[in-house]
Structures are given as structure tokens and as C-alpha cells.
Structure 1
Amino acid sequence: MGRGILTTSDKKWLRGEKEYNSKQSDSNKRKTIRDRVFQALLDFELLASELSDADRQKIFERLSDESDSHGVDESAAVIEFLYKGLSDLTTDPNHIAAGPKETSVERFLAFRNALTSGVERGKSEYTNPQEEPPDIVTVASNAYLFEFPDDDDVRAELETERLREINNQSPGDHGNHDDVAFFLQAMIQRQIHERISARHQAAKKDLKDYNDFEGDTVDMS
């Protein structure tokens, strides 16, 4: 296992397993980590635009294979770090006291803008040349936050044994590659929408409960 941004010494220090005898050494370690993480964030612009699709896919295939969460926990930690980092800039009360200037407003919207802009740019890579580029992506549900492979690719991956297995599970006439590929995609899309709808309903209930609570104000006059 090769090293990433952090060295083995960095990891031990962050976990509290390694201490330095002087404040200067401790300060140097902090600065080294800060500088490396800062440069890594700059490097991601190059990785996002120039790393080949095949190399990117191999990275995330390995992450999915070697992770108990199929890469979700590790990716969530990256998003958590970005959210905390960009939110740190808004916790200074001077941003509020200075009033709604353009720069202060942009700082408050930095994470939201980064998230939506990143998804929008990523989706543009999956848009066929004949199609329109994606609409502005919002954090709400007006845009899918996932991609599907091309229909032709799905059909090509359907092996005869898998095709027979699905046909045996389905009553009525047996489907060909086109029928089964459409069925598989439709089934997955339905499950995704059911999962998302359930989350939306839970969010609506939380919002309703909050509004109901806000409405139960006590008249102190």
C-alpha cells in the first residue's frame, strides 16, 4: 500500500500516537500537512480534467472492492472535509456584521456552489454530442445525481446465461437482449426513485414538524 497525501509519521501524529519534544517540531509537522493538503486540493483540478476515464474508473473500482462501504464512507469523508473547510470561512461573525456584501454572500454559498458546479461539470461529460448540456444542477431533486451506462453497453454485457436466468424468472414470452436490458435499467431506476422518494418524504415530515413547532409560539404579552 503506497502513501497518499499523509506519510506514516503524519498519520501517527494525527492519531496522537506520536509526539514531538519541541513546539517547533510540532509546528513544522502541522505546516507540512497543511501545505500538502493545500497542494492536493489544487491538483484535483488537473485530475478532474486530465486523468483518463480508464484510470479514474480503475481507482474507484479498487476503492469499491477494498472498502466495506464500496467507497461511500471514504467519499463521504472527502465531502465532509470540504464542507467543514468551506464552512470554516463563514463562522467569522465579521461576515455577518459587515452586511450582505457580494464577497461575504459568496463565502456562505461556497460549498453549495462547489457541489452543484462540480456535479454539473461532471454530468456534461456524460452528455451525448446530440443532446443539450445539463440544466443548472441544484442540491434539490431536479437532476439525477447518478449516471447510467449506454443501452448498447448494457446489451453487450448481457451474457447468454444471465439472459436465460432472467427469462426463466419472468412469466410469459421470453425477451431478447433489448427487452432484458430495458427491464434491468427500468427496475434499477424504480428502486432508486423509491429510495429517493422515501428520503424526500422523511425530509418533508421533518420540515412539517419543525414548522408546527415554530407555530406553537407562546404569547408573552
Structure 2
Amino acid sequence: MNVQPVIHLEGMKEEYEASVSRLLLEGFRRKFQCGTGLNDEQLQLLLERLLVMDEQRGKGQRIVAIQEDSIVGSLSLQFQVRSRPSIKARDLLPVWKGIRGVGWWAALGFAGRLVCLSHRPALGEMYIADVSVHERFRGAGVGTTMLGWALREAALRPEIRYTTLHVSGSNLGAKRLYERLGFRTLESQRSAFMAWLTGEQEWNYMIHEG
């Protein structure tokens, strides 16, 4: 009988930044490279700098899934924050290093796509900003484990009334997984601008209540 290795979850740590940025590169390569001219190395550099800045600002909560000492998945949560920590000049150093590594024009294209793909949670909303699973471990329960943890986290927070996420219309496998876990589509949007910007025309905003 084959026994699947145990998946355990941990909070984000500095030593995980390179591995997590590679996961994000796998999951979001097409959306961020579309029209920017960024190669894999440049995009990973920007994603890693972004992880550093988010950690410094205390923006949301990120976990990683570990199996046999390898990081096989990552999930990020965001909440409404009444007041965010002010950004100091030294906080921008990681981003500046990333811009120097890829050039201003490419970095601007990356930033524009990041803004268009971002979502500001409402009061009582917990937003799953991204879910990434290593391509060799897809279908092995990694995503289900991380999403289950996120839903339990929402249930433990009395201020959270619902959990949401966005999924592209072409990602049918992910959408089916979300539906099995109790998410339903609240709104579907089709946008020629988003198709031009990210290569994805349709986006579904999904919600899990309770």
C-alpha cells in the first residue's frame, strides 16, 4: 500500500522567499510576462522583492506547504486593515533592487498588472490573494490542504463573515476544486482590457460563507 507523505503547513519565513517566488512564477508567469518582456529570472526577482516588502509591511498572512522538506505550495490571505504601517525609505530598498535588476519599463508593466490583479478586502472579508502548488504535486491534495486551513482560519476569526478569491475563467480545475470546498461564483467579469493586460479575459469572483 502506498502511503502519501504528510503535508504540513508553516508560516512564511525569510528562508522560504526564493522557493515561494519560484512557485509564484510557475503559477502567474503568463499573467505577468504578457506584454512586459520580463524573462523568468527577472520576474522571479520582482516576485521575491515583493514578498520581502509584504513581510516588512505586515500585509496579510502567508503560509507554505512542506512535504518531505520541500516547499510544495503557498497561500496568501489578506484582510481589511484600518491603518497600514507607514512606508519608510528603507522599506523600498528591496523593490529598488528589483527595479535595477529588470529596468524601469519592465518593472512598471509588472506593477500595473499587480495593481489590476489586486483586491482590497471589505470589512468582514478574508481574501485568498494567491494559491500556488508546485507542478509536480498538483492533484496530490496540497491545494485542498491549504484551502482547508484557510477556511478553518476564517471560522476562528469572529470578525470574518466570508472568504473570497478570484479565479480565471480558463482555470477550470481550480474552479472545480473551489466549488467542492463550498465556494460559489458571486460575479463573473469579462474584460478586453484584462485580456490584453494578462492574457485572461474572464475572471470569477467566488465566495465561501459560513
TM over 0.5: no
* Larger Rg, first or second structure (1 or 2): 1
Structure holding more helix per residue: 1
Higher relative contact order (CA 8 A, sep 6+): 2
TM-score bucket of the superposed structures, by smaller chain: under 0.3
Question: With structure 2 as the length reference, what TM-score do the two structures score?
Answer: 0.26
Question: With structure 1 as the length reference, what TM-score do the two structures score?
Answer: 0.25
